[in-house]
Chains A and B, each alone.
Chain A
Amino acid sequence: MVLDRGFSYLLLLAFFFLILFSTNSFAQDPSDTLAPESVTNVDAFDTPNDNGHSITVSWELSSDDGAGKNNVVVYEVYRSDSPEGKFEKRGMVPAGENTFEDQGAKEKDNANYLPSHKNFYYRVRAKSDGLFSDSEISLPAYAYGQWYHTGKTPVLVAVILFSVFAITFITLARKGKLFYIRPLAGIEAVDDAIGRATEMGKPILYIFGLGTADMIATIASFTILSRVAKKTAEYQTPILIPCYDSVVMAVAQETVRAAYLEAGRPDMYKEENIFFLTSMQFAYVAGVNGIMLREKPATNFYLGKFYAESLILAETGSIAGSIQISGTDEIAQIPFFVAATDYTLIGEELYAASAYLGREPVLLGTLKGQDWGKAVVIFSLILGALAASFGFQFFINLFRIQL
């Protein structure tokens, strides 16, 4: 019995030491039940460079962010229109971030509407696994629109620079300075192509492609059409222009009529030669194919915006035996035009064509301005690449635009 009692005491002692040296699962560190430290210096201000419906909130990170036992997981941002009012949650950012943009809608009937010129108060909540602490309420802030977007300054500089180049050379051209431009095979062929149509007694077909009047490639094509139409008026060759878009048809009619007036042949202008076909891609192609095979034009011009139908048009024109001059700013269609037409104006050459055809000094001046623009680009590229090679990001930052 003495032994039994002693053994029991031993067991009790062992049990006592077991509990004493066991893991922390029984003993709790007092700091585990505390919320994380709140953020400080909450500052709300109007988001710059916007339309006046956004407020940005910034703060100093909680001292428990990325450190300490009560590691912050997320920051929640709350807003109210008065310091005593109800605060509603506007969003959250993960730990480590110290700014939040409260973007609101501009429409009054939108649930997310954030009115401008109205004071709002913000509070930031630092949260970690169900525990949180709120910051002090910020000073009031209101959203308002800006008159100038500072992030777009590189664009403004580019606009001014380009305009200065263009206007300088236009002014020099008006004073009589002559500018040289290198020959372009596609442009030099235009006269011969129109002459060929006159000799064969066949019409000329002019295709704008699928461009609408609100595309710059189509507008560039109008400027070329006026010069081509003037030549066809002088040579007394009919010109057929089936149009994909009604507004394009209207502008083309004005352009050709003016060209015929300028050439002194207003009586030769036939409005029914410039007509609308359809505004569906392959139906338009089918219609133009029919015109090519039945009217057998001697010369086809494809100048403007083209997509997948470019090859069908060019191949059919080739089958019909026409001389074909093409030009587009769609790089994906250039290979097909290069393969299937006789002359191709590649990209920027389409925009330069009107200056080449008219040879007006003012237009040649703008072409010179374009070249100076290219020179600035090349210079920036070389300098920028060399600087970037040595780790200087200056040139890349120069062209960074905030949209």
Chain B
Amino acid sequence: MHPSPDIGIWIGGLLTLGIFSFLYGDNPYYKFCEALFVGVSAGHWFITLFWTVFIPKLLGNIGIAIHTFRTEGFAAGMSDYMHWSYIFGGILGFLMILRLFPKIGWISRWSLAFVVGTTAGYYFINYLVSNGLMQIQKTILPLTSVGNIILVVGTFCGLIYFFFSKEHKGAFGGLARVGIWFLMITFGASFGYTVMSRMSLLIGRMDYIFGIWLGMIR
């Protein structure tokens, strides 16, 4: 047995065991690891977002715009709309923070509306094209092979299953039942597909504990 001399590996190993202790039941060791995880991850996310997104995207672009205004004059600065337009994003973001002040917090709805509205418009088209038209195009197949027939019939029955305005009775119900059978095949396939990958994650952790940390396996 050749345990690692690296204190960081020891910390990682002990925290790994803490998480695994959850399998036995909720306990103070797991609670400590969980609390530490939440705090460290929130801090990590904030710092990473700050240095890699906030600073370059907002302050970086506005900084370039200010520099253009100062060195090349007003006209040149105005034509550099690529950079100063980020001020609008900054204003919308600032309005968001006003939520913290109850009396004027209502103004943050403008920023929320901007996010929700653009999302709605973007996904209206996106889903109609990628989930609608493209899937239909790929499913229009000549019924000249068993595979194609099953594919078209399966898609047809699956769509029947998702009908909301007709009760699943009689012939319609029969088709819907065939549709849910196809869906169950898909769900079973998804389940089976992911089992091996999840097992490999566990193997990876075991390798960390017994190989890298405790040095019991090479």
- Whether A and B touch directly in their complex, counting CB atoms under 8 A apart, is answered as yes
Which residues on A are within 8 Å of B, measured CB to CB? Answer: 154-155, 158-159, 162, 179-182, 213-216, 219, 247, 250-251, 254, 277-280, 282-283, 286-287, 289-290, 293-294, 331-332, 334-336, 338-339, 346-349, 352, 367-368, 370-371, 374, 377-378, 380-382, 384-386, 388-389, 391, 395-396, 399-401
* B67 interfacial contact with A, CB 8 Å: no
The interface residues of chain A lying within 8 Å CB-to-CB of B41 are 278-280, 283
* CB <8 Å contact, A180 and B165: yes
Stretch of B58-66, B68-76, B128-136, B205-213 with 4 or more beta carbons under 8 angstroms from chain A: B128-136
What count of chain B residues pass the 8 Å CB interface test?
62
Chain B residues whose C-beta falls within 8 Å of the C-beta of A214 in the assembled complex: 115, 118-119, 122
Chain B residue with Cβ nearest A218: B119
**Per a CB cutoff under 8 Å, which of A219, A247, A283, A348 touches B42?**
A283
Interface residues of B (CB under 8 A from A): 19, 22, 26, 31, 33-35, 37-38, 40-42, 44-45, 96, 99, 108-109, 112, 115-116, 118-120, 122-125, 127-129, 132-134, 136-137, 139-144, 148, 152, 155-156, 159-160, 162-168, 183, 186-188, 190-191, 194
Picked from B99, B120, B127, B191, the residue with its CB within 8 Å of the CB of A335 is B191
22 contacts between A and B (CB under 8 A): A155-B129, A180-B167, A182-B164, A214-B122, A250-B99, A251-B112, A251-B116, A279-B41, A287-B37, A289-B34, A290-B26, A332-B190, A332-B194, A334-B187, A334-B190, A347-B162, A348-B162, A370-B164, A384-B140, A385-B139, A385-B142, A385-B148
C-alpha gap A371/B41 in the complex (Å): 43
Residues of B close to A395: CB separation below 8 A? 140
B128 and A247 within 8 A (CB): no
> Given A219-B120, A389-B144, do A159 and B128 touch, yes or no (CB 8 Å)?
yes
Q: Which residues of the other chain, B, contact A250 by a CB distance below 8 angstroms?
A: 96, 99, 108, 112
Task: State in angstroms the CA–CA spacing of A250 and B168 once bound together.
Answer: 40
Q: Is the CB of A388 within 8 A of B136?
A: no
B115:A247 contact, CB within 8 angstroms: yes
